Amino acid sequence: MTDPQETEQNVAETFPTARPAGCPFDPPAPFAQAREKCPMTPLRYPDGHVGRLVTGLETARAVLGDTRFSSLPTGKRSPVKVPGSELSTDAHPQQGMFVNMDPPEHTRYRRLLSKHFTIRRVRELRPVVQQMADRLLDEMERAGGPVDLVQAFAKPLPTLVTSELLGLPEADRAEFGRHVDVLFSLSSSGEEMQESMTILGGMLHALIAAARKDPGPDILGRLTVETELTDDELLGITIVLLIAGLETTTNMLALGTYTLLRHPEQLAALRADWSLTDDAVEELLRYLSVVQVGPIRVAAEDFEFQGQSIRKGEVVTVSLPAANRDPLGFDDPDTFDIRRGATRHVAFGSGPHQCMGHHLARLELAIGYESLLRRFPGLELAVPPEEIGTREMMVTYGVLGLPVRW
């Protein structure tokens, strides 16, 4: 009789990162091939561990909503082997790093923070975000083209917004962004990552000390007044919010603009009817799904899941790009269509760990795309498409640069 575990060992594939040639917006082809077999298939991790890869939409939702799949760092493994990118296997997550926690600890931190990211609170920020976007576009216009949209707009806008929310001094924002890039690069060495973490820790400790001394109206200032969180807890929370607020939105702004420029019929439809902006944002989130490595979970016990036997300690990696291209979830999923009305995607994850800042991210994207395209009706690539480099060796997918003119 064949041992199921031995069979899985023999058929397990490694995690793909190479995108199809000439198709920078599509996930690696092996994801679709795996999904055709089963929405959850054996995955071989760099250290030889055989866990699971999730590529189906409903299975992704089920995994991310099932607390038997733990978010604790114990036993976690990165599906991509790069020096310095391995995840922690410590038994306990750093204080305040609620993304690496399970209930009830995770629930406690979410409850303390959620009021700062409600729809009402985010709507109040619209004039502030619009003002920031307009200021950056003014600077672009004065500079004249061509410019690198990543450096001129896509990166500064979420940096300004997130820094404003947390009270990060303007003088520290550029340096902070550089070190965040190091942490998210799959080509960074362990030494480089450790150095960046040390520098970021020092910057954030200073920020927390300043907030305790003179609390402002920002999130960090309010947390020092309204809660009894320790400095270590505040540090962990601040790291999560800053990193989550910068990297993904930056890449969505740049890659989303590139996508629209490469789909002129969709761009023309948006220009003809700006009421489609929110729909365009949702479709770009689904179509691009820039988080290309993870979420990652570890089975906390032995159990049956969708007809498969899950073993305690088994690592499960969910591919959000693959799930958002599932034909069982979306008609003609590989086609970019801003009129699709794609609201059931999992670009922000799902379940108790769904990105808490998704309302804010949607606001930044809507304001960013519309303001940019209204200001520069003649916006176009300043180089041939084949010269646009992409971030295949990064946790978050995007473009390395986006030269544009108008």
How are beta strands 303-305 and 308-310 bridged, if at all?
A: antiparallel
Exposed/middle/buried for residue 124 (C-beta within 10 Å: 0-12, 13-18, 19+): exposed
4-398: CATH number: 1.10.630.10
What is the rounded distance in angstroms from the CA atom of residue 340 to the CA atom of residue 336? 8
Model pLDDT, residue 11: 67
What is the rounded distance in angstroms from the CA atom of residue 185 to the CA atom of residue 397? 10
CB 196 within 8 Å of CB 177: no
Q: How far is CA 142 from CA 129, 185, 375, in A?
A: 20, 32, 12
CB 62 within 8 Å of CB 318: no
Residues whose CB falls within 8 Å of the CB of residue 270, separated by 6 or more in sequence, listed in order: 260, 276, 277, 280, 338, 373
The gap from C-alpha 41 to its chain's centroid, in whole angstroms, comes to 23
How are beta strands 13-14 and 40-44 bridged, if at all?
A: parallel
What DSSP designation does 34 have? H
Measured CA angle at 321 (ends 190, 404), to 5 deg: 80
Model pLDDT, residue 201: 84
33: number of Cβ within 10 Å: 13
What is the rounded distance in angstroms from the CA atom of residue 180 to the CA atom of residue 217? 25
pLDDT tens digits in sequence order for the chain, 406 residues long? 434 455 555 567 899 988 988 889 999 999 999 999 999 999 999 999 999 999 999 999 999 999 999 999 889 999 987 544 444 444 555 777 888 899 999 999 999 998 889 999 999 999 999 999 999 999 999 999 899 999 999 999 998 898 888 888 888 877 877 887 787 666 777 788 888 888 888 888 888 999 999 998 889 999 999 999 999 999 888 888 877 778 899 999 999 999 999 999 999 999 999 999 999 999 999 999 999 988 999 999 999 999 999 999 999 999 999 999 999 999 999 999 999 987 889 999 999 999 999 999 999 999 999 999 999 999 999 999 999 999 887 788 999 999 999 9
Model pLDDT, residue 275: 97
Model pLDDT, residue 88: 43
> The whole model's pTM is what?
0.90
Angle, helices 219-226/231-262, rounded to nearest 10 degrees: 150
First to last CA, the chain: 67
- Sheet with 380-381, strands from edge to edge, namely 147-148, 403-405, 380-381
